Amino acid sequence: MDNVPISGLDELNNHLDDLIQDPNLAIIPKLFDDVELQLTDSNIPPLIPSLLPKLTQILQQYNDDPAVIVSLTIKLLRPISFTQVLQLASEDSLNQALTSPAPAAQLLGLTILHKAAKTPTDAAILSVMPSLVTSLLTAWLSSPKVEVGQKASKVLGDLLDIDCPRPPPPPPPAPPAITTGTTPSHHELVLRRVPGKGELWKLIFHQPSTYNLLLDLISGRHPGTANNTSQLSLAQGRTLRILPRLAALNIDAIASSNILAPTPIHLTNGHLTDDDSDMEINGTTRNENAATNPPQQGEGLLQYAALRMVDNRDALMHLNLVDFFEAFVSLMRITEYSAVKEAIVKGLLRDAVPHDDMLRGALDTLPDRTVAEEADDLRAWLRVVMPPVAEVPLR
């Protein structure tokens, strides 16, 4: 079957040559679709030298929606490793894709970066190209397109998993019983099988320029989210959804930082004024709300996102925050025990729960809403980490 000629290949090649000569020429989608449907891992490699350079050149000069071009390009790139892609496409061209206003081009750039999540060495190679990492973070948090945000979240999470310098969690001592709905083990939730090099973690969470970019995006201080309540909410929601996974990978790295975070700009119904400071929110006045406390030196992204970032006047974002705490607490239960982890979880809940009746109610009832096989263990874990009701200050 490998020697079967690809129908329409010559016609597509001619069309690509025409598009290079005249970028304003209308694309004929059928030519792309017909060839793409015939591609397999075995017949793709011989096509790469002839097709990929043409497709790359067209993408750089094409002004309309390049979805059909991108789809074929992604198919051609499927069997190629990250280092092989770097021999075919420059760092500048990858940045151009990631920063393109066209979602299809951004998805192409993200697909290429995702290849670096195959091995720790590839992830480390990506870490020496910080402009690609900042473009990844910016696309993740500033794109209004759901598919771009979801793909970027997957790419970032997988990259940080493979690059995580901690040893992978050990497998369970015995095969777990087959029970419908049972939570998978921590070992089953991670990709890496050997420790990573930790270079991406250093770049994102310890390099001031990169970390401050991340903080600016989720605090409304970056052009991609400033004065745009909808986009800021998307950025904050995406951050809250990835944090439990990052905490399961390396909670220490996201729970402390030498870089002081900015005070968030809450944009719900416009910028806050001094008159808003005593506004009642969820049963407590705003100046008692944990989100109004300024960031503290030494706090990491975890505390910033969970305690400072969200304006609880935004009902939807408040629900997102509660969802985050439910996922975070549940996932922390199944990760390996350490006194440091327990202290971090306790500290976070100690600061968040007393000021949020909805959050306390959600966590109190969480075991009742999980699978029966996990309920007792989750209930016991919550008794360890939740602040007692007696600690809640009287209002």
Structural domain boundaries in the chain: 116-168+190-259, 310-388
pLDDT in tens, 125-145: 999 999 999 999 999 999 999
Q: Say how many C-beta atoms besides its own lie within 10 A of residue 17's C-beta.
A: 12
pLDDT at 124: 98
pLDDT at 88: 86
The segments of the chain whose pLDDT lies below 50 read: 1, 178-180, 267-292, 392-395
pLDDT at 183: 63
Kindly give the interhelix angle for 91-98 and 130-142, rounded to the nearest 10 degrees.
10
Specify whether the CB–CB gap between 124 and 83 falls below 8 A.
no
pLDDT of residue 375: 96
CA distance linking residue 360 with residue 1, whole number of Å: 61
What pLDDT does 295 receive? Answer: 78
The DSSP element (H or E) to which 257 belongs, if any, is strand 256-257
pLDDT of residue 94: 95
HSE (CB half, 13 Å, CA atoms) of 221? Answer: 12
Cα torsion 198, 200, 201, 207: sign: positive
C-alpha neighbours within 13 Å on the C-beta side of residue 358: 18
Return the residue matching tokens 């005070």: 263
C-alpha to C-alpha distance for 355 and 393, rounded to whole angstroms: 9
**pLDDT given for residue 175 in this prediction:** 55
Kindly list the distances between the CA atom of residue 52 and the CA atoms of 4, 7, 62, 89, 295, in Å, as whole numbers in the listed order: 21, 18, 15, 9, 48
**Residues 306 and 324 sit within 8 Å (Cβ to Cβ):** yes
pLDDT tens profile 309-363 = 999 889 999 999 999 999 999 999 999 999 999 999 999 999 999 989 999 999 9
DSSP of 284-311, one letter per residue? EEGGGSGGGSPP-TEE-HHHIIIIII--
Q: Does the predicted model carry a pTM greater than 0.95?
A: no
pLDDT at position 275: 38
Q: What's the burial of 170, exposed, middle or buried (CB within 10 Å: 0-12/13-18/19+)?
A: exposed
